């Protein structure tokens, strides 16, 4: 795949970039390694000052970088601006909280004495150079949620971004340099996916984090495993959205629309499978379908647009094949199902709702990365849990209920890294983010995320001999 800005609203190639040469990659890794040895000793207050400055600059740049993101991957402009501001907010959160999150921990005096020591503590030290392999769908947020905690922990970053968002990738490097971070603290590598293996195998690269597809995650994990290097993987998701009889059906249906089509439906944590209890299925399905049908599809630069194009022609083809397979096997199209009328250029797909889904359909097992929702009718709570868990993924989940017993049942039994009640899944720097099963392993954000790329070090002092 060429490294290029291709406007998905028109299919027009706007800019192309030459990948870095082997010599330039070597220079950048060497710079990162050299910087890591110095930057690890930077005090927390100085790291926080630099990250707060980056947040300030990003807030100022938000209108312009939002247009760049929309141009490169097609998200509605208002959502792009919100993404930029969310990144700035998260930078400020880590600047304010990192020192506390990485404070030394002290075992109990009794345990220290039992170990034969006089003093012990657990200390967090940075690993060094971390390679980040990031996707195009949230081209700022996916990177910042790695970079902010990594930099505050004293690590340095090498970014291999998706090849269709090169201008956003270059902006990120420039942002951290403008903020005053030392040269080499955060560098963008404009390279193809074929260069990842040699970079990750380099002894100067300590660890890797990847957000992306399951095949990409398997590849990076295999290479890192062979090199015995730490990885964090956030892969696909096919999140359930369960609606029980006690729910506020009007709110549940309205929120469901946003939960499905946010970011043009191209979000790992977007709700994708909508499971309604039989007692409220018809009401929910009618309200939800009406809301999806009312969405405005069009130019993502227009403020009135709800859903823009998919990021690539291949992405649209893949989505259409999933829909066509489901329809051929008996799925009912409640709305949408194809290319919107009047949009002859660009990679658009109608917001779509499919019902009567069966297990022999690909869409039942595979992730739908676009504005397509599947509807399921659950006879009871047990059936709802079974359907929700009948997926190879386990990123997040949504449940609408006002029954406390049902809340506890879903918390206990849903196989996911998050359970969000009476609202849609959202990420926040204070809450750990990640999944189970084929959605990956490890956690981003919160204290769990900042400690993923730290050397958790036991510091122990022996007891002095009795001099009496």
Ordered alpha helix ranges (H), 273-419? 281-293, 313-328, 362-365, 381-389, 404-413
Exactly one of 72, 173, 185, 268 is catalytic; name it. Answer: 268
Contacts of 274 (CB under 8 A, 6+ apart): 240, 241, 243, 256, 260, 284, 288, 373, 374, 375, 376
Tokens 């009401």 locate to 283
Give phi and psi for 351, each to the nearest 5.
Answer: -55, 130
335 labelled catalytic: no
Contacts of 397 (CB under 8 A, 6+ apart): 239, 240, 241, 242, 388, 410, 414, 416, 418, 419, 420, 425
Element (H, E) at 148: helix 141-152
| Three-state secondary structure call for residue 56 | helix
Structure tokens at 1: 């795949």
87 labelled catalytic: no
Give CA–CA dist 368/362, Å, rounded.
Answer: 10
Beta-strand ranges (E) seen in 203-299 are 205-211, 230-234, 239-243, 271-277
Contacts of 272 (CB under 8 A, 6+ apart): 237, 238, 239, 240, 241, 260, 367, 368, 372, 373, 374
Exactly one of 72, 83, 173, 234 is catalytic; name it. Answer: 234
158: nearest Cα among 139, 134, 135 = 134
Give CA–CA dist 440/290, Å, rounded.
Answer: 34
Structure tokens at 31: 């710079």
159: nearest Cα among 28, 37, 55 = 28
How crowded is residue 184: how many other Cβ atoms within 10 Å of its Cβ? Answer: 22
Contacts of 165 (CB under 8 A, 6+ apart): 5, 69, 72, 73, 136, 139
By annotation, the residues acting in catalysis are 234, 268
């Amino acid at each position: 795949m060429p490294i290029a800005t291709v406007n998905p609203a028109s299919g027009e190639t706007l800019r192309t970039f030459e990948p870095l040469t082997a010599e330039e990659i070597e220079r950048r890794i060497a710079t990162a390694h050299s910087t890591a040895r110095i930057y690890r000793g930077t005090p927390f207050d100085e790291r926080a000052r630099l990250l707060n400055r980056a947040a300030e600059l990003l807030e100022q740049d938000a209108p312009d970088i939002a247009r760049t993101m929309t141009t490169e991957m097609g998200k509605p402009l208002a959502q792009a601006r919100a993404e930029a501001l969310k990144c700035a907010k998260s930078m400020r959160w880590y600047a304010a909280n990192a020192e506390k999150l990485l404070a030394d921990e002290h075992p109990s005096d009794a345990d220290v004495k039992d170990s034969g020591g006089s003093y012990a503590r657990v200390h967090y030290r940075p690993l060094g150079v971390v390679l980040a392999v990031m996707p195009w769908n949230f081209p700022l947020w996916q990177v910042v949620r790695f970079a902010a905690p990594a930099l505050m922990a004293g690590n340095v970053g090498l970014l291999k971004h998706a090849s269709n968002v090169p201008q956003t990738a270059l902006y990120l490097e420039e942002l951290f340099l403008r903020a005053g971070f030392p040269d080499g603290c955060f560098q963008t590598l404009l390279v193809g996916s074929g260069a990842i293996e040699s970079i990750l195998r380099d002894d100067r690269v300590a660890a890797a984090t990847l957000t992306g597809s399951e095949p990409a995650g398997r590849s990076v994990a295999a290479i890192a495993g062979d090199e015995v290097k730490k990885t964090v993987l956030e892969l696909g998701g096919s999140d359930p959205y369960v609606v029980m009889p006690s729910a506020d059906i009007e709110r549940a249906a309205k929120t469901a629309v946003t939960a499905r089509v946010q970011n043009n439906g191209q979000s790992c944590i977007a709700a994708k499978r909508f499971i309604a209890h039989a007692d409220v299925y018809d009401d929910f399905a009618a309200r939800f379908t009406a809301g999806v049908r009312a969405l405005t599809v069009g130019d993502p630069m227009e403020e009135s647009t709800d859903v823009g194009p998919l990021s690539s022609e291949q992405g649209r083809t893949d989505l259409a094949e999933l829909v066509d397979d489901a329809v051929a096997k008996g799925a009912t199209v409640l709305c949408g199902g194809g290319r919107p009328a009047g949009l002859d250029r660009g990679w658009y797909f109608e917001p779509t709702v499919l019902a009567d889904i069966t297990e022999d359909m690909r869409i039942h097992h595979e992730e739908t990365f676009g504005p397509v929702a599947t509807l399921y009718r659950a006879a009871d709570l047990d059936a709802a849990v079974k359907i929700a868990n009948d997926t190879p993924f386990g990123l997040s989940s949504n449940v609408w209920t006002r029954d406390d017993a049902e809340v506890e049942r879903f918390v206990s039994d849903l196989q996911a890294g998050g359970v969000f009640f009476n609202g849609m899944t959202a990420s926040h720097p204070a809450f750990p983010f990640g999944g189970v099963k084929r959605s990956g392993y490890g956690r981003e954000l919160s204290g769990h995320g900042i400690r993923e790329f730290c050397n958790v070090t036991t510091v122990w002092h022996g007891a002095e001999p009795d001099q009496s």
